[in-house]
Structure 1
Amino acid sequence: MPETTPLGLTGLAFGGDYNPEQWPESVWTEDVRLMREAGVTMVSVGIFSWALLEPEPGVHDFGWLDRVLDLLHENGIRADLGTPTVVPPVWFYRVHPEALPVTAEGVRYEFGSRGAICHSNPDYRAAAADITTRLAERYGSHPALAMWHVHNEYGVPVSACYCDGCAAHFRRWLARTHGTVEAVNEAWGTAFWGQHYTDFEQINPPRVTPTVGNPGQALDYRRFADATVRENFTAERDILHRLSPGVPVTTNFMTALSQCDSMDYWAWGREVDFVTNDHYLITDGRRTHVNLAMSADLTRSVAGGAPWLLLEHSTSGVNWQPRNPAKAPGQMARNSLAHVARGSEGAMFFQWRQSRRGAEKFHSAMLPHGGTDTRVWREVVELGAHADALKSLRGTRTEADVAVLWDWHSWWAQNLDWRPTEDHDARERADAFYEALYDRHLTVDFAHPEADLSRYPLVVVPALYLMTEGAGNNLREYVERGGTLVVSYFSGIVDEHDAVHEGAHPGALRDVLGLTVEEFSPLGAGDRVRLTGPGGCELGADVWSEFVVPRGAETVWTYADGLAAGGPAVTRHRLGEGSAWYVSTRLGAEGLDTLLGRAAQDAGIAPRAELPRDVEVVRRTGESGTFLFVINHTAGDTEVPLDTPGTELLTGERAAGRLAVPAGAVRVVRLDG
């Protein structure tokens, strides 16, 4: 079996996308000299190079790539070699225009960007297999080769095509998945609005219709599109495994970006040899370091807890958001080492040398337009030294305290049309619950709803609208055996086909929560409700309320006003050895903290009030020892208690008792023993 980390690295991966084809060959020697100065250990090469590797059909030019890989090897730099199948050449589209994807509105995209691919198209599949085969035959045993990087950011910017070829492919997928057209009718509920089918040939993709289409069909098409893209990845992967045995194969995910939710990364994580991820700060006014931590935790979870690799992030600003601020001094190191704290085996960037031309010329890079006499360059060199100082933690694993359930299929279903209110955003609830756990200094694993949860004292379910009966049973068993469960509203409502569970809401969770919900009562825009609870504790909420009927659960907070006034708002159900909490409205940050404090007490999790806000404390452990990361995202110096003494790896100093962490700094202590 291939190794599960890049070949040839003795420490952390540090480097970025290297695009030498954008520059005269005379620059290449300077590039590798500066890479060595910065401590670069690996670069990603060839990801967008198909048009140069095959300038005409069947005519190949590998000479320039030969020289690049040889130059990297001579300088001790490993290569993450891409298959360039995200950008077929223009000649390919002139011969096969039907390989360009079609929107749901029937518009065919044109050549001139990236990722414009119909993944069902057989000509694209054949061409991708051919270029992958030729690369593997030529470079499969090259001494610089550390890993294979298939395609790039699957699902971005086109996650689904709606052409006639995809329609035929969809019908075949439906036949494999459901077996019969009668089973499709049952799954989709086609008796509603007279949508009944008698033959697979009658079924098309969910193209534009006069009003809302069939939600079961739309959900299945999301699954089909994801599976189709994954088929193309596994086809390339299998070629690489066959022709380049022992070299790991991966592709770069984008796990926690809500703009990139078209892939079921639980399924993708099972197909790669090891997990890699791209992450960029979304500068929308929120605390960007919290989303970063969430992304890293989710990526580690997709990897099954194993070490993974941050394959792209930015040294400073990006160029594709409405506003693209620079990173503050020291922020690049904090961002990079926060990923490492949460399981990454390094920190890679897009890209090495900042482009002068093209759509991303204002995207920051390791080597900026201003060259080496810049703040960014000096911070890159310093970060390279930090990466070298941390080489001993390679292979260790991050320790988690709690679990949050996460399911891409539920996001897909939740985002279909015609729900009780447009103000409810399931992803917002996931972010909010994660942030509340983050602020309680609890490290999170994410878990599939049907995964084994027995090792977690606390499990949080933030608005998982779609939940199978199996998942509901899993959560019941978890609580009965002593776990503490927290569930937010509009969870467990429909099954895997977007059909409402039979009986009262919340179908899959009725028994474990010990209640039923008679009716949803979304709030008007800007409306709020008050909740009163233990000792007169009052909480505020908005967006949503419900008419809850306890059936074994105790009422902890009650609606003080609104249509549900006097009724239960937050409940707790003792079941077996554990307890299940339910919150039937949208709590703000203070309310979530209060709720999770009560639940954490149930779970036996001690409060960590001595740790300052926005100071991360995360552990990695393994055969090489235990490493304590302390990341100070604040503008003030701080101290954190240190139960075990050790050596701070970035300064070389001994640390005991209390660890001082300057404003904006990171400290990593290798604990004694």
Structure 2
Amino acid sequence: MTSKSIHLDEFALGVCYYPEHWDERFWADDFRRMKEMKFSVIRIAEFAWSLFEPEEGVFQFDLFDRVLNLADEYELKVILCTPTATPPAWLTSKYPEVLNVTLEGVTYQHGQRRHYNYSSPIYRVLCARITREMAVHYKNHPAVIGWQIDNEFNCETNVFYAAADHAAFRIWLQQKYGSLEQLNFAWGTVFWNQIYSDWEQVHLPRPTPSNSPNPHQALDEKRFISDNAISFAKVQADILREIASNHWVTTNGVFGHLDSHRMTDELLDFISYDSYPLFALGNAPSAEVNPMQDRGWSRNLSNVRSISPHFCVMEQQSGPGGWVNRIALPSPRPGQMRLWAYQSIAHGADMVLFFRWRTATIGTEIYWHGINDYHNQPNRRVAEATQIGHELNKIGRHIVGSSFIAEVALIRDYDNEWDGELDCWHGPMERHSLSGWYKALQHRHIPVNILNMTPHTTLEELVNYKLLVYPHPTILSDECAKLLEQYVHQGGQVVFGCRTGYKNIHGHCNMRVFPGPVANLCGVTVEDFTLITGFYKAPPIRWLDQKVTTLATADLFNDIIHVESPTVEIIAEYAAEYYAGKPALTRNKFGQGHAWYYGAAFNDAVADEIISQIGLESCVNQLCSVPLEIETVIRQSGDQQLIFLLNYSAQSQKIQLKLEVTEMLSGEQLEGDAIIEAFGVMIIKR
């Protein structure tokens, strides 16, 4: 995985720039000010296809040649984007089959972005041609360092129902299953008489009377969309590798129905992310927002880090966000822009580009504000960005290449995520539990990684962690269960929640006792169960350790657990409902480790108590005492640790340092009590 990281000697800070939006007289002054702010890189051209190819087969590079030459004069490096997220009007007019179609059969028209489909053969040909022309033209330009493929795959829409998509889906299914007999088995088409006798009868999901497609077909739909997007990206990646082999290749965004891990492993040098923590705050009206909201954005960054341990943030929040008609986000408060930039850096970003240099005066995103306002005069965002630039110019070389340190991992996988979109009997549990665990770990200042489980995951990857939390692996293979057994047997701890292990890879319910493949590992079976809905209320749980006073409820779903092995210890019981007194949480000794099973969805109170029982502690306890409002992150290189302290509160916070330390941003020596200002950042070197 390390080979799929960005590799830099110096931290790279920059900005997204749209020279085609501005009179050319602005360019030199913009670049001069960028250099004064210690920016070193710009991203350009992701929506500029018509400027490169104003009519089919006619290519013009003059405008961007002037931009790149001027950037080189100012010693700014450039990330070039293939402009395939917004096909030109001449293209969609001449080849309407490239347009995407809704489930109901309505064709998206020209006028926004991402209105194309990945399956259209002619669109792939035309995308390949513009990519090749750009690569040939700019392969040796001294300012260019890398390429971004397209822009935000699967953003805006992540489902595709054009005629070309239905045809491509059939081909994908033929390659996957080989025969209609195998397809009919995998989709369980004997139910409700859906049996197919000819491939032409097979489609992507289409409207149904109850808006409820075949669930096994719907799971394969998501797998197909992901594979199809990856194959579309591969067309461009292969051209760039062939022609511009001295440049790196990435793409930006982590969106639904796309296996970004596999895409990165197969096509990219590293993943890039677009980080907008303001989405987590929304339109919060109160003066004091919940500090876990934008702080919880760190979970998204943790997922990005699971793809590339060192990554690029291609778009970093700089101002209020808004489209004319649907997105309306308030202004970041003073300090938040800087806080969120360091949040990205703490979690693994070695390159950060703010979105955008200057707020657009035209188009849908005239309220998606950049560093500069329309008037181009100094403002507090410019001042904040300048502060960040000067700080990173001083300490950035100490950050790049250092690794995020964590002893806990939350496990996720794409099959359960995609299956859970339709299946309300397990999907909501996953979201609830990940939120509960992340909150509990954050409040204890225990760093956590996200671990993506695949058939290729190895024991060597798992043993890096003292604790694995796999909240609700409904789809769970015997092979994965054996791997987790090996991990626990050698001394690891794994935690499961309700709805574990009752489906196979097709989404069929197993004809075996719950929790299926991990019943032996957990030493328990499920004798009864119920959704917590309607007149059922989440019951309290009673901890058998009488010293525990934490109040907790068993949320969303309740498995009533039956102990099968003498090595199982009951940790908590249900304290209400017809199953009062039955086990709610168990711990089984298995080899040198333990497997935990909780019969509900996790909240932060339950997760917090499990953390206590396991004995996990914050790795900064020996250095300092930190209040709940502050996130702590450690990046380490060799023997040197950088401890990021991020204050998400609108009030200043006091920390207590137990040793004398160096604060990197200010250069000050600190000991005893220290104050982190509202939305402030400290980086301590140890």
Structure 1 length normalisation: TM-score?
0.93
> What displacement does 1:97 show?
0.4
* Aligned residue number for residue 557 of structure 2: 544
- Shift of the 421–604 alpha-carbon distance from structure 1 to 2, 3 Å rule, reads closer
The CA distance in 1 between the partners of 2:120 and 2:573, in whole Å, is 56
* Counterpart residue number, 1:125: 124
SS of the residue corresponding to residue 542 of structure 1 reads: coil
Change in 2 beyond 3 A, CA 1:666/1:75: same
**Which of 435, 438, 452 matches 2:442?**
438
Residue 604 of structure 1 and its aligned partner are, at CA, apart by 8.0
User: Taking structure 1 as reference, are residues 144 and 607 closer, same or farther at Cα in structure 2, changes over 3 Å only?
Assistant: closer
Structure 1 residue aligned with 2:337: 332
Q: Does 1:299 align with 2:304?
A: yes
What secondary structure sits across from 1:297 in the alignment?
helix
Whether the 8 Å CA contact 1:449–1:474 is kept in 2: the answer is: no
Shift in Å, 1:197: 2.1
Q: CA deviation at 1:614?
A: 2.3
Taking a change above 3 Å as real, the CA distance of residues 545 and 113 of structure 1, as seen in their structure-2 partners, is same
* Within-5 A mapping of 1:465-544: 465-525=474-534, 527-533=537-543, 534-535=545-546, 537=549, 538-544=551-557
1:229 aligns with 2:229: yes
Equivalence for 2:313 = 310
From the superposition, tell whether residues 288 and 29 of structure 1 become closer, same or farther in structure 2 (CA, over 3 Å).
same
Distance in 2 (alpha carbons) for counterparts of 1:486 and 1:562: 24
Aligned match of 1:264: 259
Are the aligned partners of 1:396 and 1:621 in contact in 2 as well (CA < 8 Å)? yes
AA of the residue aligned to 1:63? D
Q: For residue 341 of structure 1, report the CA deviation from its aligned partner.
A: 1.1
AA aligned opposite 1:398: F
Kindly tell me the number of residue pairs found equivalent between the two proteins: 657
1:249 alignment partner in structure 2: 249
Aligned to 1:156: 155
- Is the Cα–Cα contact under 8 Å of residues 521 and 563 in structure 1 kept in the other structure? no
Code of the aligned partner of 1:91: W
* Inter-partner Cα distance in structure 1 for 2:433 and 2:176: 32
SS of equivalent residue, structure 1 residue 81? strand
TM superposition shift of 1:623: 5.0
2:315·2:353 contact (CA, 8 Å) conserved in 1?
Answer: yes
- Structure 1 residues 3-402: aligned runs within 5 Å: 10-211=9-210, 212-254=212-254, 260-270=255-265, 271-281=267-277, 282=279, 283-284=281-282, 287-303=292-308, 305=309, 307-320=310-323, 323-392=328-397, 393-402=399-408
Instruction: Point out where structure 1 has 5 or more consecutive residues left out of the alignment.
Output: 255-259
d(CA) in 2 for partners of 1:659, 1:550? 50
- Displacement of 1:6 in angstroms is 6.7
Query: Are 1:667 and 2:663 an aligned pair?
Result: no
1:617 counterpart = 2:632 = yes
Contact 2:319 / 2:337 at 8 angstroms: preserved in 1? yes
CA contact (8 A) 1:368 1:376 kept: no
Contact 1:334 1:631 in 2 (8 A): yes
* TM-score, with structure 2 as normaliser: 0.91
| Cα separation, 2, equivalents of 1:3 and 1:65 | 32
The one-letter amino acid of 1:350's match is F
Deviation, structure 1 residue 45: 0.5
Aligned partners of 1:492 and 1:509 also within 8 Å = yes
Contact 1:6 1:146 in 2 (8 A): no
1:22-55 Cα deviation digits (max 9, x unpaired): 1111111121122112211111100100011111
How far 1:640 moved relative to its partner? Answer: 4.2
Cα drift, residue 65 of structure 1: 0.3
Give the equivalent residue in structure 2 for 1:651.
666
2:415 aligned partner, one-letter code = H
The equivalent of 2:422 in structure 1 is: 416
How far is 1:590 from its partner?
2.4
Q: CA deviation at 1:432?
A: 2.0
Structure 2 letter corresponding to 1:219? L
Distance 1:565 1:323, change over 3 A: farther
Q: Is 1:637 aligned to residue 653 of structure 2?
A: yes
Residue identity opposite 1:399 in structure 2: I
Partner of 1:246, secondary structure, is: coil
The answer to which of 453-462 and 544-553 deviates more is: 544-553
What whole-Å deviation, never above 9, does each CA across 1:566-599 have from its counterpart, x for those lacking one? 2111111111111111221234332331232223
Partner deviation per Cα, 1:518-576 (whole Å, 9 max, x = no partner): 33211224823111112064522332212221212322111111232221111111111
Aligned-partner Cα distance in 1 for 2:89–2:3: 36
The reply on whether 1:454 has 2:469 as its aligned counterpart is no
Structure-2 separation of matches of 1:464 and 1:278: 28
Give the equivalent residue in structure 2 for 1:257: none
Which 10-residue stretch deviates more, 109-118 or 545-554? 545-554
1:3·1:247 contact (CA, 8 Å) conserved in 2? no
Contact 1:411–1:427 (CA under 8 A) maintained in structure 2:
no
SS in 2 for 1:447: strand
Q: CA RMSD in A?
A: 2.3
Say if 1:292 and 1:32 are closer, same or farther in 2 by CA, change over 3 A. same
Query: What CA distance in whole angstroms lies between the structure 2 residues aligned with 1:297 and 1:172?
Result: 35
Return the alpha-carbon distance in structure 2 between the equivalents of residues 654 and 92 of structure 1. 61
Write the deviation string for residues 441-498 of structure 1: whole angstroms up to 9, x where unpaired: 1111111234331110011112232222222222122111111111122232212211
Distance in 2 separating the partners of 1:146 and 1:607: 38
Give the partner amino acid of 1:232.
F
**Distance in 2 separating the partners of 1:395 and 1:49:** 33
